[in-house]
Amino acid sequence: MVKVITKDVTKIFKSKKKEVVALDKINMEINSGESFGILGPSGAGKTTLMRIIAGLDVPTAGELYFNDELVAASNRLIVPPEDRNIGMVFQTWALYPNMTAYDNIAFPLKSLKISKAEEQKKINDIAEILGISHVLNHYPRELSGGQQQRVALARALVKNPSILLLDEPFSNLDARIRDSARALVRRIQNELKITTITVSHDPADIFSIAERAGVIVHGKLVQVDKPSIIYSKPITVEVAKLIGDLVELNGRIEDRNGATYAVVDDFSFPINKINASNVRLGIRLEDLKISKESSLGSDWFLVGRARVKVSSYSSGLFRVTVVPPSNDNTEVVVMMDKPFDVGEEVNLFIR
């Protein structure tokens, strides 16, 4: 397997009118056999970085290494893509419509000049692992979205690549089968121990597949860590919002009886003591609850009274927006397992 190292990798696109910095000095190490995620908003530079790793593009500056081998440097393609032993699954899957699933999977093997028997064994083996043996004689138009994705994955894996690149691999799948597709990719990666790099703007992809992740914003690598750490300890507000829903509030600091609070209208949030007069709060939705009760136990702190402004249903839960009695514009969103009536008076708690 291969360790991928980028050193000050920069990519600048130039036109007559302007210059766009797509990647700005990316320094990153992806360990051999690791499943690594690259997360970022649209236009952040994720796919550009993947294209440089694949050899489909070259960095304007900086260096790219596979283990200790320099494969690309400033405007130089040192190792061409066909010699990098990379498997890639595109967002659109890019299956040849005039070929059967079998022939699509076999396509990368043609350049290896292996025997027909060996080719057939490789295809049958990977098809069995991915559960598509029964559709090998079908054309892409005859396959479901999930089956097409598996064929594309089989095509990427059949030549036993050293690196597997997945570019938004689940965005074209129905929501109901995305979880099973993610679980499949994670299982295959665990079994084959291929260095896997997944690019996505969807945090669910990264949490499901990646052991570590890097967040790219405006072409800069701003944070690298386990997905759970990026979620619980984001380095910026932008990263926090990118990886999950967030309640943002501006409050003033008050000290009461030796404790410190961030006060937002009628709400008082307990925080660690800081040397400031104002604070910006970021709270995950699962760390908030509402109830008619005055206490929820030792894990929950009463923030104050609130009134239900909006209540809607979302993916098995109820998304409830509450406001303090004195200010209808200060909104706090809470996810609950039961509905609440608009106008209902409740208590707001924080974990």
Task: Encode pLDDT of 118-161 as tens digits.
Answer: 999 999 999 998 989 999 999 999 999 889 989 999 999 998 89
Query: Rounded to 5 degrees, what angle do the CA atoms 59, 63, 67 make?
Result: 125
- For the chain, how far is it from start to end, CA to CA, in angstroms? 43
Confidence of residue 178 (pLDDT cuts 50, 70, 90): confident
195-200 and 35-39 strand pairing: parallel
Tokens found for residue 341:
């009536």
Rounded to the nearest 5°, which phi and psi values hold at 44?
-75, -25
Confidence of residue 172 (pLDDT cuts 50, 70, 90): confident
pLDDT tens for residues 317-349?
A: 999 999 999 888 999 999 999 999 999 999 999
Report the chain's mean pLDDT, rounded to a whole number: 93
